Amino acid sequence: MSRHFARGSLGRFIVVRLAATALLLLVLSFIVFGLLHLTPGDPARNLLGPRNPSPDAIAAIRQKYRLDEPFLRQYLLWLNDVVHGQFGTSIRSETPVTTLLADRVVLTLQLALMSFVLTVVIGVPLGIAAAWRAGSAFDRTVSVSSIVGVGAPSYAVGLVLLYVFGVWLDIFPVYGSGDGGLDTWWHLVLPAITLAFGIGALAFKLTRTAVVGELQQDYVAFAYSRGLTRRQVRSLVLRNALIPVATSLGLVFGFLFGGTILVEVTFALSGIGGLLASSVTFKDIPVVQAITLITAAVIALTALAVDVLYYAVDPRVRARGLK
Amino acid sequence: MKRPPFTPLIAAVPLSIVAVFVIGARWFAPNAAEPDIYTGVTAPGDAGHLFGTDQLGRDIWQLAVAGAGSAVVGPIVIAVGSMVLGLLLGSLAGYLGGGIDLALSKYADLLLAMPTTLVALVVAGLVDGGYWVTVLVLLVLFSPTDIRVARAAVMEQSARPYIESARVLQLSRFRVMFRHILPNVLPIAMATMLLNVAFALVAMSGLSFLGFGVGPGTPDWGRQLSDGRDLIGQNWGAVVVPGLLIIITAVAINLMGDWLQERFEQRGAQR
């Protein structure tokens, strides 16, 4: 066995995790596929509309989308396509799923990225500042507000913000994704703030807890007693405390990608979240499958990337090896 | 972190009001769901409606009072149900260990690895079996957290001296588990449960906001919020009233849960 696959090595770790991710995606896709079949409602009928469709028309559509095959065979055929990079054709819009998703994935990524930047730029520094002055009025105020941020749901916060800044003060656009370029970024400001409100509060809590925990370590007292300045001690503390924070932030990015669904619906953005919600109602099997898998894969791969990053930045993890 | 002691009191005020809504809706807002198409949308203050009316001419405030029930009852059932499930399975795993522990932990891992929002939306949306099926779906998705919490708490307790003495006295496993360990695990389980009510409220209202779980026309905060979205230019009440009710309730429950968790953690550590 090569050195790269020894116990605790990075290579082995990545391979094992990739296999676990593939397994998770397989289970998830099977559950979704099974549910689509077990539940009432027929996409062929949804497509033909409320008029009484002819049996021939239904049969033709069922054949085109392979709905007439037995369940397991349908699943295996679908799986075979996915392995070959084909996500099939949307039943509702009759366009290839990859084409349908291409633009929307970009918008969702833009939204996730913007709120992630807001989260990091606001949540983390506030957490550090609150931890330096733990117990002060500033700390208490921000901490209580963070409970509001963690507790309040994005769709409700989003609509209240939409009313205040979109309708009442008329600063931001109310609906839609804009005409591309800068206009799109401008349309994403309120949605991104909405998402970052909840996740930034989470980032604040994580950062504050990590820094407070680090400040209680013995080496901090020792460093002070050796006469190190406050500045020097703080830079030591930050180096140690921010490693777990960075890890959690990576996981937060994964959550963001899943959390965009509600925000996209709230602000009528044409990302993949909004598409998922309407495709579920329509039972547009290929689209639901593709979005579920892409989102789950992004979340799982971000978690993996974070762990690898952990290995790269933290010498203690390198020494101990990965599990 | 030390928080002012009046936190639970402040949180209790909105929660009591919501409780009054849930219990008293049939008296305060008996005809809330009745459409009045002649009125249509009106702005707040018009025609004796404090927060105006929606597309169907229904009074926004009455509708919100009537919607408290479906917004709150389901989440409570989810939180209690998943805690019972979690305590049962978690204590089995934590106390007995071995194969049962491994199987249950793997099951919890699998559910936790799934992106919850996404799975809840896809499963609840596809099954689309109405309110109680959605409750059941969320209950299953919430249970792994509770299994973990219960398992960790039980394992932590069973290593303590008083359990060792109970074993020395040759009390039955059943008796040790339910008479001695469980009462000490219960407080932390209660705090987790309260926090779960808040998460479940956000999740359920989110699903009904997307149109799943409650039928059109049913009074429900999430549903009302999504209906109100289309009226944002005509009647701000249609968005602000259900929106703030969801926010205030969720935050109040969170404050309460956080406060309880901190208190119990301190107490549990001293035992």
Q: Do B122 and A160 touch (CB under 8 A)?
A: no
Q: Do B118 and A295 touch (CB under 8 A)?
A: yes
Query: Do the Cβ atoms of B60 and B238 come closer than 8 Å?
Result: yes
Confidence of residue B238 (pLDDT cuts 50, 70, 90): confident
Confidence of residue A4 (pLDDT cuts 50, 70, 90): low
Query: A-chain residues within 8 Å CB-CB of B208?
Result: none
- Of A8-12, A300-304, B145-149, B167-171, where does mean pLDDT reach its minimum? A8-12
Those of residues 10-29 in A touching chain B at CB distance below 8 A are: 24, 27-28
Query: B-chain residues within 8 Å CB-CB of A31?
Result: 123
CB-nearest to B225 from A144, A152, A159 is: A159
Residues 6+ apart with CB under 8 A from A150: A198, A201, A202, A205, B254
CA A112 distance to own-chain centroid? 7
Tokens representing A112 are 């996730």
Confidence of residue B84 (pLDDT cuts 50, 70, 90): very high
- Of A208-222, A248-262, B26-40, where does mean pLDDT reach its minimum? B26-40
Q: What average pLDDT is seen over chain B?
A: 81
Residue of B118, B133, B265 to mutate, testing the A interface (most A Cβ within 10 Å of its Cβ):
B118
| B271: pLDDT strictly greater than 50 | no
Compute the distance between CA of residue B250 and CA of residue B80 in angstroms, rounded to an integer. Answer: 16
Residue B8 CB: number of other CB atoms within 10 A?
Answer: 16
| ipTM score of complex | 0.79
For residue B59, the SS3 value is: strand
For the stretch A21-59, pLDDT in tens is 888 888 888 887 887 777 666 666 666 666 666 777 777
Residue of A146, A147, A265 to mutate, testing the B interface (most B Cβ within 10 Å of its Cβ):
A147
Query: B-chain residues within 8 Å CB-CB of A135?
Result: 1-2
Q: Do B115 and A295 touch (CB under 8 A)?
A: yes
Q: What is the rounded average pLDDT of the residues A69-87? A: 81
Amino acid at B262: E
Q: Write out the H or E segment, with its range, that includes residue A236.
A: helix A230-266
Determine contact: A213 vs chain B, CB below 8 A.
Answer: no
Confidence of residue A1 (pLDDT cuts 50, 70, 90): very low
- For residue B210, the chain A residue with the least C-alpha distance is A277
Amino acid at A129: A
Tokens representing B210 are 């997307």
The C-alpha angle with vertex A261 and arms to A82 and B200, in degrees rounded to 5, equals: 115
The dihedrals phi and psi of B39, each to the nearest 5 degrees, come to: -75, -50
**Per-residue confidence (pLDDT) for residue B76, from 0 to 100:** 94
| B128: pLDDT strictly greater than 70 | no
How close does chain A come to B27, measured CA to CA in Å?
Answer: 27
- For residue B7, the chain A residue with the least C-alpha distance is A144
Tokens representing B49 are 């409606």
What is the dihedral sign for C-alpha A66, A72, A73, A77? positive
Confidence of residue B77 (pLDDT cuts 50, 70, 90): very high
**Per-residue confidence (pLDDT) for residue B81, from 0 to 100:** 95
Residues 6+ apart with CB under 8 A from A242: A207, A210
- Of A148-157, B2-11, B173-182, where does mean pLDDT reach its minimum? B2-11
Amino acid at B244: L
**Per-residue confidence (pLDDT) for residue A43, from 0 to 100:** 67
Query: A-chain residues within 8 Å CB-CB of B123?
Result: 31, 35
Residue indicated by tokens 């303590």: B160
For the stretch A140-194, pLDDT in tens is 889 888 888 888 888 888 888 888 887 788 777 777 777 767 777 888 888 999 9
CB-nearest to A258 from B118, B205, B254 is: B118
Query: Do the Cβ atoms of A283 and A123 come closer than 8 Å?
Result: no
Q: Do B246 and A28 touch (CB under 8 A)?
A: no
Query: Do the Cβ atoms of A90 and A97 come closer than 8 Å?
Result: yes
**Per-residue confidence (pLDDT) for residue B270, from 0 to 100:** 47
Confidence of residue B50 (pLDDT cuts 50, 70, 90): low
| A237: pLDDT strictly greater than 70 | yes
Concatenated DSSP letters for A103-126? HHHHHHHHHHHHHHHHIIIIIHHH
Confidence of residue B267 (pLDDT cuts 50, 70, 90): low
Compute the distance between CA of residue A250 and CA of residue A18 in angstroms, rounded to an integer. Answer: 17
**Per-residue confidence (pLDDT) for residue A321, from 0 to 100:** 65
| B21: pLDDT strictly greater than 60 | yes
Compute the distance between CA of residue A248 and CA of residue A147 in angstroms, rounded to an integer. Answer: 18
For the stretch A106-146, pLDDT in tens is 888 889 889 999 999 999 999 999 998 888 889 988 988 88
For the stretch A268-322, pLDDT in tens is 888 888 888 888 877 788 888 888 888 888 888 887 888 787 777 777 777 776 6
CA A237 distance to own-chain centroid? 29
Q: Write out the H or E segment, with its range, that includes residue B265.
A: helix B237-270
Query: A-chain residues within 8 Å CB-CB of B255?
Result: 144, 147, 151
Compute the distance between CA of residue A142 and CA of residue A139 in angstroms, rounded to an integer. Answer: 5
Determine contact: A265 vs chain B, CB below 8 A.
Answer: yes
Nearest to B251 by CA among B210, B199, B207: B199
Compute the distance between CA of residue A243 and CA of residue A255 in angstroms, rounded to an integer. Answer: 19
Compute the distance between CA of residue A306 and CA of residue A308 in angstroms, rounded to an integer. Answer: 5
Query: Do the Cβ atoms of B94 and B157 come closer than 8 Å?
Result: no
Nearest to A245 by CA among A123, A113, A114: A123
All structural domains of chain B: 12-253 (1.10.3720.10)
Amino acid at B37: I
**Per-residue confidence (pLDDT) for residue A41, from 0 to 100:** 65
**Per-residue confidence (pLDDT) for residue B4, from 0 to 100:** 56
Compute the distance between CA of residue A93 and CA of residue B154 in angstroms, rounded to an integer. Answer: 53
Alpha helices in B97-181 (DSSP H): 98-113, 116-127, 131-158, 161-168, 173-175
Burial of B100 (0-12, 13-18, 19+ CB in 10 A): middle
Q: Do B1 and A147 touch (CB under 8 A)?
A: no
Q: Do A153 and B117 touch (CB under 8 A)?
A: no
Query: Do the Cβ atoms of A262 and B210 come closer than 8 Å?
Result: yes
Residues 6+ apart with CB under 8 A from A312: none
For the stretch B59-73, pLDDT in tens is 778 888 888 888 889
Question: Computed over its alpha carbons, how large is the radius of gyration of chain B?
Answer: 22
Neighbour-count burial for B186-225, b at 16+ CB within 10 Å, e otherwise:
bbbbebbbbbbbbbbbbbbbbbbbbbbbbeeebbbbbbbb
Tokens representing A7 are 């116990």
Residues 6+ apart with CB under 8 A from A58: A42, A44, A45, A48
Confidence of residue B45 (pLDDT cuts 50, 70, 90): low
